Amino acid sequence: MTSITAGCDNGKATEGAVCFPLNSPRVSLEGGSRFPQNSRANAVSWRAGSGALQKYLYIAVGGSLGSIARYWVGSTIAGRMGTKFPYGTFIVNITACVIIGFSLTYLNRRVGLSPAWRFLIPVGFIGAYSTFSTYEWETLATMRTGAFALAALYVVGSLVVGLAATWCGALLAEAIS
């Protein structure tokens, strides 16, 4: 069987995983961890056929709940505080950072837990709730490896290129409207 789990090899994600280059053991959102051979933790893996479709179900359920939560929190905060400043989005992004920091740290320290939790919460729920938290987690993980210049490049690059891409998208929409 082909393993669906993924880990980090030299800082690169394997099999399409989102890799967080922390100190050993290396971890990823996919739920796989790189531990020494014959480690008890190697037993925590989903194999093709036994969990390949289930993980998408967990992601879909988490994503549904995350998008509903995002709408509810964002609109509730905006309704109470107004829309002059995007308070709702700000609160969503900050709470997502707390949730992803807690959930990934907790799940990565408890390798005996079902990988389904990684698909349900960090990938599904938080993925739909806010992608800002993933960006912040990846930045923190990169900083933890000591790659401060790379983390700074990621932060500045994401801001500048993201703003430029948003502007290009807006210009394209204006051009065809």
Q: Rounded to whole angstroms, how far apart are CA atoms 39 and 83?
A: 52
Q: For residue 22, give the DSSP letter.
A: P
Strand (E) or helix (H) holding 19: strand 19-20
Max Cα-Cα span within the chain: 60
CA dihedral (22, 24, 28, 32) in degrees, to 10, reads -170
Q: What is the DSSP string of 62-108?
A: HHHHHHHHHHHHHHHHHHHH-SSS-HHHHHHHHHHHHHHHHHHHHHH
pLDDT digits (tens, 9 = 90+) for 29-52: 444 443 334 434 433 444 445 567
Q: Model confidence over 82-132: pLDDT tens digits?
A: 888 888 989 999 999 999 999 998 988 888 888 899 999 999 999 999 988
Where are the domains positioned within the chain? 8-146, 148-177
- pTM given for the model: 0.62
| 36 prior amide bond cis, ω within 30 | no
144 pLDDT tier (thresholds 50, 70, 90): very high
